Amino acid sequence: MANDNQFRSRTRIVATRGVREYRETIPSLIRTEDVVLEAGCGWGTTTAVLARHAQAVLGTDVSRECIVRAQDRYPTLDFRVMDAFDLRAMLDLAKPFSAVYVDLSGLSGYRGLLDLIALLNTYAAMLKPRVIVVKSGALKHFAQHCQACHHPRAVYSATWPSRSPLHSRQILTLPPSRSRWHRPPGSSNSSWRHPEWPAPLVAG
């Protein structure tokens, strides 16, 4: 069940598609005082770009071979073998990450979208960075088709099949609480309704 703490994060999440777009965000989003974490750094190319704009950067990857290669290429940068899902290990670093870059190939498609959203939400809640940039074409595509409702009471439209042409569409207003929902005696489970909802039209 959701709780209010999930919705209090002030972290901005930026979804990008492709490596080029991912790296192009760095000059505009990274500040000179930032401490940056990159999860899924690979051979360290993006980490090196981040290092030119930030105060400090840590590149992490679950692959030891990638970290060895990255350290050989950029010996002055900090790289560590670390699982992006190991939040305890990240917290133990005790670093004030103000920005997080995420490039996890295994979660870039729609199959891993829920896991990716859960991971980003956890980063936002536990690390509390100012911004998270993630390379995921699926997440960017999904976000482009989402719109947050800012009305005090969300309005939904629904269509039910009916034998009567009069009962074709109703506009339902989501009640502020489900505590007043009720089911008329002798009715089916689908008849649950709130007293603030309009009564259904019945052909007479």
Write down the pLDDT at residue 107: 73
Placement of tokens 């039910």 in the chain: 160
pLDDT band at 190 (very low <50, low <70, confident <90, very high): very low
* Per-domain boundaries in the chain: 10-144, 147-198
The alpha helices in the chain, defined as continuous H runs, are 18-24, 26-29, 45-51, 64-73, 87-92, 113-126, 137-144
The average pLDDT across 50-65 equals 97
Q: What is the pLDDT of residue 166?
A: 43
Higher pLDDT, 169 or 4: 4
Mean pLDDT of all residues belonging to the chain: 79
DSSP 8-state secondary structure symbol assigned to residue 53? T
Query: 10-144: which CATH number, 3.40.50.150, 3.40.640.10, 3.30.365.10, 3.40.50.11740?
Result: 3.40.50.150
Query: Where is pLDDT greater, at 44 or 169?
Result: 44
Q: Is the pLDDT of residue 175 over 80?
A: no
pLDDT of residue 3: 55
Query: What does the pLDDT read at residue 67?
Result: 97
Across 23-33, average pLDDT: 96
